[in-house]
Structure 1
Amino acid sequence: MTTAAMLDPDTLHTRVQRFYAAQMQRLDERDIEGYAETFTDAAEFSHTPGRPPSRTRAGIIEDLRDFHHRFTDDPMQRRHWVNMIDVALAEDGSIVSTAYCLVVKVRPKQEPVFVSTVIHDVLVEIAGKLFTRSRHVSYD
C-alpha cells in the first residue's frame, strides 16, 4: 500500500487534485453526508465568516444541513472550482494543502455570481484513502 509520504510530488499533487474533484462534486450535488464522509471523525471545518467552526463529521452534517436549509426553495446551483493547489508533506505525514476555490453560483436566467476563496487544508491518509482533518476557508 502506498502512503502519501512515499509519493513523488507530482503523484501527490495528482492524488490531492482527484480527492478534491470527488469531494467537491459531492458538495455541489448537496450530498452532505457523502461530503462529510471525506472528513476525519474529529475534523474541523470553518467555511463561513462569523460562523463557528464545525467539529466532527456529525457536526459538519448538522452545520451544512442548517446552511443549505435556507436555500431549499432557491434554484441556485453552486459549483466549486478548486485549482492552484499547493501541497507539502508535514513532519507528521499529513499533507498541508492550500488551494484557490472559485465558487460559482448559478440561477436560471441570471448571470453567474463568482466568489473567490482560498482553502487551507490538512489532509491525512487512513487505510490508503485521503481525508480532510481540517479545512479553513478564507474569502478574498
Structure 2
Amino acid sequence: MTRTAPSDTQTVSHMDYAAIIQFYAGQAQMLDAGRAEEWAEQFTEDGTFAQNVKPGVKQGRADIAAGMRKGIDALAARGLTRRHWFGMVAAEPVEPDVVRTRYYAVVFETPPGGEPRLYLSTTAEDVLERDGDGWLVRSRYITHDGTDA
C-alpha cells in the first residue's frame, strides 16, 4: 500500500477520513443555505472561530452563530449567493477522539442575474472532537490568502 502522507505524519483511519469529509460537506452546505444557527451547533459548546483579517475570537455557539448570522443577513440584503468549497483536507490524530485538520477553502459569489466569481481563497486549520458517530469543531482558524498572516 502506498502512503500518501509524509512519513512523519500520522493519519486517521479511512472511515474517520470519510466521516470528516462528509462533515465538511454538510458544514459548507449549511452555511450556503443561510443556516447559521445549525452551522454553529457543529462547534463544541466552548468552540472558537477566528480569522487573521478580523480582530477577536468568536467563542461559544451563540457568539459564533451571531457573527455568522450578521454576515449571512448582509449577503441576503445584497442578493448575493455564496458557495463554499473545501478541499485538500489533511487530517491527523492528536489524541484519542481529537483530530487536527488543515484544508483549503474557496468561496464563490454570484450576484443576482450575474456571473459567479471567486470571492475568497483561504487556508483553514481546525481541531475536531469526536461526538458520537460524528465530529464537532473545537477550534477553527481561517487565514485569508494574500494577507500578512
User: Which of 5, 28, 31 is the equivalent residue of 1:27?
Assistant: 31
Q: 2: distance between equivalents of 1:95 and 1:33?
A: 24
Following superposition, the deviation at residue 63 of structure 1 comes to 1.1
Listed as ranges, the gaps of 5+ residues in structure 1 are: 1-6
31-40 vs 64-73, greater mean Cα deviation: 64-73
Aligned counterpart, 1:109: 113
What is the TM-score with the length of structure 1 in the denominator?
0.87
Aligned counterpart, 2:61: 57
1:43-94 Cα deviation digits (max 9, x unpaired): 0001461231100001111111222333342111111101100000003531
What is the TM-score with the length of structure 2 in the denominator?
0.82
| Residues 133/8 of structure 1: CA separation in 2 closer, same or farther (3 Å cut) | closer
Matched ranges for 1:92-131 at <5 A: 92-114=96-118, 115-131=120-136
Aligned counterpart, 2:140: 135
Aligned counterpart, 2:40: 36
User: Which of 76, 79, 85 is the equivalent residue of 1:75?
Assistant: 79
Aligned counterpart, 2:8: none
Q: 2: distance between equivalents of 1:49 and 1:22?
A: 25
Q: Which runs of 4+ in 1 moved over 3 A?
A: none
Aligned residue type for 1:120: E
| Residues 92/121 of structure 1: CA separation in 2 closer, same or farther (3 Å cut) | same
Contact 2:126 2:138 in 1 (8 A): yes
Listed as ranges, the gaps of 5+ residues in structure 2 are: 1-10
Q: Please give the root-mean-square deviation of Cα atoms over the aligned residues, in Å.
A: 1.8
Q: How many residues align?
A: 134
